[in-house]
Chains A and B, each alone.
Chain A
Amino acid sequence: MATLADSFLADLDELSDNEADVIEEEDVDAGNMEEDVDGEMADIENLNYDDLDSVSKLQKTQRYVDIMQKVEDALQKGSDISNLGMVLEDDPEYQLIVDCNALSVDIENEIIIIHNFIRDKYRLKFPELESLVHHPIDYARVVKKIGNEMDLTLVDLEGLLPSAIIMVVSVTASTTSGKPLPEEILDKTIDACDRALTLDAAKKKVLDFVESRMGYIAPNLSTIVGSAVAAKLMGTAGGLAALAKMPACNVQLLGAKKKNLAGFSTATSQFRVGYIEQTEIFQSTPPSLRMRACRLLASKSTLAARVDSTRGDPSGNNGRALREEIRKKIEKWQEPPPAKQPKPLPVPDSEPKKKRGGRRLRKMKERYAITDMRKLANRMQFGVPEESSLGDGLGEGYGMLGQAGSGKLRVSVGQSKLAAKVAKKFKEKQYGSSGASSGLTSSLAFTPVQGIELSNPQAHAHQLGSGTQSTYFSETGTFSKIKRT
């Protein structure tokens, strides 16, 4: 009921607008209608409207009749060369076209109202039909065909609906909870269906007329998308000015159908394209590029519509230029990518190597770092000759290894991580294969001469590890004597 009230209010608004614009003898009718509408508004609470005429009034208005008459005349006359000299607003044909646009919007609203009416009446008979068939005109046709029939196998719905929907409708009808309608209600419903169908036919006529005049009204737009689609766009938008004010994303979706999903179908509606889908440019692009083409078309046609709404280019050159641009862009998208040329090698040593850091690298470096033993061997004490492997200064020198004053009797081989890793691998190869190793084997070798010296690794690190502590200068000792001079 709320929708009905809204539609009444909408009717009221239209009436008041029309009084300002069009110079028709509508005042009388408008006055009459307003009275009627007020009367209806009062009864809205106990509204069990039986009368279709109280709901849909468009066909009775003078305005409707006049415009339809003019359209028919113009259609029969055929298109004549428009006189471009005259200013657009004064041209009666242009005025007629503006009226036609408004009228087509009105007709649409009217059809929706009638659809609601039919739906409410038919709900007693077949409640599920409204969720299966969304389109108002299709719904009206189906209702007319089915009538009061309970058995849908006797009804032939071919050609009205897609076969999948017909199947679903037949199945639902067999389990419907509806009952046949009483005679008067059935008559009223059929009457309403007829009304809707005539309105639809009238709308088609109006659109045809607008289409034939499209080249005159909006030459640029019709060059790009074609006059049929241009007329539809204009009709849906409610006029050229309204179309020009829309952003391109809306223009793209004008006329997009909502797909009817039967049952559990999860197929989404393809594309989100509206009337633009019917343009020849769109149809001739390969399917992979269609989305981009649609967006491009929508944006360029919006530009053309804006040019047309201000009559900036009556000759249509702008439209032709835009069309050429669109064509070129689509061609460019279809070009194959340029052939890959082999890249020349980079100059040697020109790119600095990427140095990594972090804990992992540090651990890896530790394996090859200089051991403490080697550090000791590299240094020498001042004034103390070092021992050498072959004795007497020949062979490899031992530096501070094994010298008095280092605080250790023997320097042991510190845990060499590299050696450990190699030993582990070696062990795996040797002992791991058999698996039956004696529990007495160990990786430490006992020799009678040296024995085992277990060293405290912490002490070692302290002694030589940190670079800041030096063994050259004693930590504990101080200057023995400072002479004042």
Chain B
Amino acid sequence: MSYLMTTLTKKREVDTIIRDTIDKVLVLRFGRASDPVCLHLDDLLRKSSREVSKFATVALVDIDSEEIQVYVNYFDISFIPSTIFFFNAHHMKMDSGTADHTKWVGAFQKKQDFIDVVEAIYRGAMKGKLIVSCPLPSERIPKYQLLYKDV
């Protein structure tokens, strides 16, 4: 489903893309191509990647490859799909009312939601912030339970 979007499978590729995206938000989707929610998110990403192309880059990371497990452990990715935002190699956090600010879990309901989130991140990053608040109303934010050691 990643028709025109780059899919990354090697650690080195992920490193290069994080390092080389300058002054643009980098959207990394961690997921696998077989999951339906992931497919939904991928479709949205593909459609909007051209529209946000002036201030964001979108890439897909396949969590089934071994090299990527390092990142899976680092970012503590347990739900599929998870999206992590970077700006100039800084990890951008977003407070969307959920427990985990470091990533966005799940898909977006509409293309416009995704664009709004990316724009909020961009504005915050340009101001120098490392954490921004989510512009979406809470109905549009996917809810999930954070499990800590299966509690």
Contact = CB atoms under 8 A, between A and B. Distances in A.
A347 B51 contact: no
A347 B54 CA distance: 6
Interface string B108-141: 0000000100010011001000000000000000
A349 B125 CA distance: 12
A345 interface: yes
Contacts of A348: 55, 119, 122-123, 126
Interface in A62-94: none
B52 A344 contact: yes
Interface in A329-352: 342, 344-349
A341 to B, nearest CB: 8
A52 B53 CA distance: 87
Contacts of B19: none
B54 A345 contact: yes
B63 to A, nearest CB: 29
Contacts of B55: 345, 347-348
Contact of B50 (A344, A347, A349): A344
A375 B115 CA distance: 43
A346 B53 CA distance: 9
Nearest to B126: A349
A321 B117 CA distance: 59
A349 B53 contact: no
B57 to A, nearest CB: 12
B126 to A, nearest CB: 7
Contacts of A346: 54
Interface residues of A, number: 7
A348 B52 CA distance: 10
Nearest to B120: A348
A144 to B, nearest CB: 77
Contacts of B51: 342, 344-345
A349 B115 CA distance: 15
A342 B50 contact: yes
A346 B115 CA distance: 12
Interface string A334-378: 000000001011111100000000000000000000000000000
A458 to B, nearest CB: 46
A352 to B, nearest CB: 14
A345 B119 CA distance: 10
A344 B126 CA distance: 19
B139 to A, nearest CB: 24
A347 B115 CA distance: 12
B45 to A, nearest CB: 14
A18 to B, nearest CB: 77
Contact of A349 (B52, B54, B123): B123
A349 B126 CA distance: 10
Nearest to B52: A345
B123 A344 contact: no
Contacts of A344: 50-54
A349 B119 CA distance: 10
A265 to B, nearest CB: 57
A371 to B, nearest CB: 33
A342 to B, nearest CB: 6
Contacts of B115: 345
Interface in B38-55: 50-55
A347 B24 CA distance: 10
Nearest to B48: A345
A427 B55 CA distance: 50
B42 to A, nearest CB: 19
A349 B52 CA distance: 14
Nearest to B122: A348
Nearest to A347: B55
Contacts of B122: 347-348
Contacts of A342: 50-51
B53 to A, nearest CB: 5
Nearest to B47: A342
A349 B54 CA distance: 12
Contacts of B50: 342, 344
Contacts of B119: 348
A53 to B, nearest CB: 86
A346 B122 CA distance: 12
Nearest to A345: B51
Contacts of B54: 344-347
Given A345-B52, A347-B55, 14 more contacts: A342-B50, A342-B51, A344-B51, A344-B52, A344-B53, A345-B54, A345-B55, A345-B115, A346-B54, A347-B54, A347-B122, A348-B55, A348-B119, A349-B123
Instruction: Please give me the 7 A-B residue pairs with the lowest Cβ-Cβ distance, nearest first.
Output: A347-B55, A344-B53, A344-B54, A345-B51, A348-B119, A347-B54, A344-B51
6 contacts: A344-B50, A344-B51, A344-B52, A344-B54, A345-B51, A348-B119
